[in-house]
Chains A and B, each alone.
Chain A
Amino acid sequence: MPHDHPDHDNHLDPMDARVRALETILTRKGLVDPAAVDEIIETYAHKVGPQNGARVVARAWTDPDFAAWLREDATAAIASMGYTGRQGEHMEAVFNTPEQHNVVVCTLCSCYPWTVLGLPPVWYKSPAYRSRVVIEPRAVLAEFGLHLPESTGVRVWDSTAELRYLVVPMRPEGTEGLSPEALADLVTRESMIGTGQPQVPA
């Protein structure tokens, strides 16, 4: 796929001119305020990202009442931490266990829990991931370096509606006594999609 890794430094990228022209038209016609576009970009660059989800997971690891709430009503539990809104209106948290590993995909577009993970990475949106992870998840996970025991089942959650899924990975061994802040640093974006595991403390 030539566009999986496009030539990012090509100053003649026709999309650059196309988007620039479109934004100019929309601005002149009073349909778009470029300052609002700036603010949207700023939100996802600095305020809404996987650090939010990592805090949710770390709290679930350290606060059994919160974990129970997250399991019961993820939308409310996550909202209580201030993470609400677009592409996180209806949340479900799915907990990994030794018996079941969870992986999230959207085979029909690129649905993703923005409020807790921010904007999706390119690989999540790629036809390769969307086509393969429902039919050969173990092979895909192996390409991410994740090798599951044969005794662990794989559950793939295809986000076909407006429910958005956050994977809660198992807490790594050797993390007893770590603060929620230190634990959150171990929670990777991939571990909350299901294509990775949390880091182990150094």
Chain B
Amino acid sequence: MNGPQDLGGRMGFGPVLPEDNEPLFHAEWEARALGVVLACGALGQWTLDENRHARESLHPAIYYASSYYEIWIRALEVLLLRHGLISAEELESGAAAPAAPHPRRLAATAVPAALARGGPTDRDIDTPPRYAPGDRVRARQMHPKTHTRLPRYLTGHSGVIEADRGGYVLPDTNAHGLGEHPQRLYTVVFDGREVWGEGAEPGLTISADLWEGYLENA
């Protein structure tokens, strides 16, 4: 979706402001937010793709005015409500009746193994690759209202296949509970002048990892 998250090439956000000796968290609630979001993810009720889509579906005014962990928490509330894990009344009142642990509740002792395992998204696919390294391709002109990982600044531009990464879960369907539908993923390299025109910085190339369905012959 052409949402607030799709930032490549947008202007007006000012300078990048690195912070010397930046602390890991800027407030205690940020640390709790990280832990709560990961622990809820372990319940297995949604995918990371659905989670990303919940974040980018926040109203642009809220998205841009919120810190990273605030975006995480706002999206988590949406997901918890959507999947019926909590009710709007509970969220509103802050009160809930005690319940037995969920069968998939993440135990403290299970955290190291869960984090060390992660969630690989590569998948075997048996269809032959449509493209090979060196092929010229174009990022399709597509603007779905649903989740996609094709950034707007690349749509319609042509580049060169650099690597075939094999099959990966397709976020476009997976984010909406429509299945993994793995497709081949390619690293595609775009020349800066192709993407940004005559004013592009000299010597700039940009690459993105794009699924086969995002591409067409150029």
Contacts and interface: CB of A to CB of B under 8 A. Distances in A.
A22 interface: yes
A50 to B, nearest CB: 11
A122 B29 contact: no
A190 B16 CA distance: 13
Given A89-B119, A107-B7, A160-B209, A132 B36 contact: no
B107 A33 contact: yes
B36 to A, nearest CB: 5
B207 A156 contact: yes
Given A32-B105, A143-B15, 17 more contacts: A3-B70, A19-B29, A22-B76, A26-B39, A29-B97, A31-B86, A32-B39, A40-B35, A40-B115, A85-B115, A90-B121, A107-B151, A115-B118, A121-B18, A123-B18, A128-B14, A163-B209
A161 B209 contact: yes
Interface string B107-122: 1101110111111111
A84 B13 contact: no
B26 A8 contact: yes
Contacts of A163: 165, 185, 187, 209
Contacts of B76: 22
B34 to A, nearest CB: 7
A128 B15 contact: yes
Contacts, number: 288
A177 interface: no
A119 interface: yes
Interface of A: 1-6, 8, 13, 15-16, 18-26, 28-33, 35-41, 43-45, 48, 84-90, 107-110, 115, 118-119, 121-123, 125-140, 143-144, 150, 152-163, 190, 195
Contacts of A108: 5-8, 52, 56, 149, 151
A43 B111 contact: yes
Contact of B205 (A28, A126, A144, A155): A155
Contact of A25 (B6, B96, B115): B96
Contacts of A1: 13-14, 64
Contact of B66 (A3, A8, A29): A3
B207 A8 contact: no
19 contacts: A1-B14, A26-B39, A26-B86, A29-B98, A36-B39, A36-B110, A40-B38, A44-B34, A45-B31, A86-B115, A108-B7, A135-B201, A144-B18, A153-B203, A156-B207, A158-B206, A161-B165, A161-B211, A162-B168
Interface string B164-179: 0100110100000000
Given A29-B96, A86-B119, A131 B185 contact: no
Given A31-B102, A135-B196, A161-B168, A86 B118 contact: yes
A129 B107 CA distance: 36
B144 interface: no
Interface of B: 5-11, 13-19, 22, 24, 26-29, 31-36, 38-40, 43, 52, 55-56, 64-70, 73, 76-77, 80, 85-86, 90-91, 94-102, 105-108, 110-112, 114-122, 149-151, 153, 165, 168-169, 171, 185, 187, 189, 196, 200-211
B108 to A, nearest CB: 4
B19 A128 contact: no
A31 B81 CA distance: 13
Contact of A158 (B18, B27, B77, B151): B151
Given A25-B96, A131-B10, A20 B39 contact: no
B185 to A, nearest CB: 6
Which are the 5 A-B pairs with shortest beta-carbon distances?
A37-B35, A107-B8, A161-B209, A35-B108, A153-B203
B3 to A, nearest CB: 9
